[in-house]
């Protein structure tokens, strides 16, 4: 089910930069790391919190986008509802 979960990279950091480690390269996002940074994922998207804001990794894994909070809320509610029904 999640065979492609890391297809678009794994987030990490070097110094003040967030990096996305991908199969064939590394994408660097300069100055995006912060002491309060954390990452989380669902089955479809990779998110992280830094500098008092939420971001998501683009589908290509080469851009940081503003987190689509409505999608996240909807997806989370659907998963929780599915768990409740099973």
pLDDT tens, residue order, the chain (86 aa):
344 545 566 788 999 999 988 878 889 999 999 999 999 887 778 888 999 999 998 887 888 999 998 888 888 777 666 666 55
Residue 39 in any domain: the answer is yes
- Residues with Cβ within 8 Å of 70's Cβ and at least 6 positions away in sequence, in order, are none
* Strand blocks (E) in the chain: 10-14, 17-21, 26-29, 38-41, 46-50, 53-57, 64-66
Residue 4 belongs to a domain: no
In a domain, residue 5? The reply is: no
How many structural domains is the chain composed of? 1
pLDDT for residue 3? 45
What is the residue range of 54's domain? Answer: 10-85
The reply to whether 30 falls in a domain is: yes
pTM over 0.85: no
């Amino acid at each position: 089910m999640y065979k492609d979960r890391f297809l678009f990279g794994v987030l990490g950091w070097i110094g003040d930069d967030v990096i996305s480690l991908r199969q064939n390269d590394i994408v660097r996002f300069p100055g995006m790391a912060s002491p309060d940074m954390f990452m989380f994922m669902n089955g479809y998207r990779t998110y992280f919190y830094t500098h008092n804001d939420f971001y998501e990794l683009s589908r290509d894994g080469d851009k940081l986008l503003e987190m689509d909070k409505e999608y996240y809320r909807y997806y989370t509610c659907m998963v929780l509802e599915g768990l409740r029904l099973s």
